[in-house]
């Protein structure tokens, strides 16, 4: 299925990336080029094949649910774009 400008607009919205209207056609054509090349995967018979989600042949390790680090707000905030009194400052989330 071909990706059109409307699809790019929707996907960019989902990805939270502002893409200007005038760039949507060009992006659609680039993404179509890549997805068309990817379509060849449909030639592979994958009936009954388990999806491979990890390259590690071991179960995920469990650990004690304890605090190991923390308690240093200044470190956590040191790269924040905006802070006040030891808090992150973010745009209003609830209208």
Partner 1 sequence: MTSLTKLTLKAALDGLADKSFSSQELTEAHVEAVAAAKPLNAFVLETPEKAIEMAKASDARRAKGEAGVLDGAPLGIKDLFCTEGVRSTACSNILGNFIPTYESTVTANLWRDGAVMLGKLNLDEFAMGSSNETSAFGPVINPWRSEGSNAKLTPGGSSGGSAASVAADLCLGATATDTGGSIRQPAAFTGTVGIKPTYGRCSRWGVVAFASSLDQAGPIAKTVEDAAILLKSMSGHDAKDSTSLDIDVPDFPSFVGKSVKGLRVGIPKEYRVDGMPAEIEKLWEQGIAWLKEAGCEIVEVSLPHTKYALPAYYIVAPAEASSNLARYDGMRFGLREEGANLTETYENTRAAGFGPEVKRRILIGTYVLSAGYYDAYYLKALKVRRRIADDFDQAFEKVDALLTPTAPSAAFGLGENADDPVAMYLNDIFTVTVNLAGLPGMSIPAGVDVNGLPLGLQLIGKALDEGTLFSLGGAIEKAADFKAKPAKWW
Q: Which residues bind partner 1 (CB under 8 A)?
A: 3, 7-8, 11-19, 27, 30-31, 33-35, 37-44, 46, 49-58, 60-61, 63, 75-76, 78-82, 88, 90-93
| Residue carrying the six token digits 């649910």 | 65
33: phi > 0 → left, psi -120 to 50 → alpha, else beta; which?
A: alpha
- Distance of closest approach, residue 26 Cβ to partner 1, in angstroms: 10
Q: Which is closer to partner 1, CB of 15 or CB of 84?
A: 15
Nearest to 34 by CA among 3, 68, 69, 67: 3
The answer to whether 61 and 41 are in contact (CB under 8 A) is: no
- Distance of closest approach, residue 93 Cβ to partner 1, in angstroms: 6
- Distance of closest approach, residue 25 Cβ to partner 1, in angstroms: 14
């Amino acid at each position: 299925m071909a990706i059109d400008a409307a699809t790019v607009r929707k996907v960019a919205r989902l990805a939270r990336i502002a893409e200007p209207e005038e760039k949507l056609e060009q992006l659609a054509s680039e993404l179509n080029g890549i997805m068309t090349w990817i379509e060849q995967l449909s030639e592979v018979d994958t009936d009954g094949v388990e999806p491979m989600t990890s390259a590690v042949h071991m179960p995920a390790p469990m650990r004690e649910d304890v605090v190991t680090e923390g308690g240093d707000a200044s470190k956590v905030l040191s790269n924040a774009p905006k802070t006040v009194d030891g808090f992150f400052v973010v745009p209003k989330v609830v209208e």
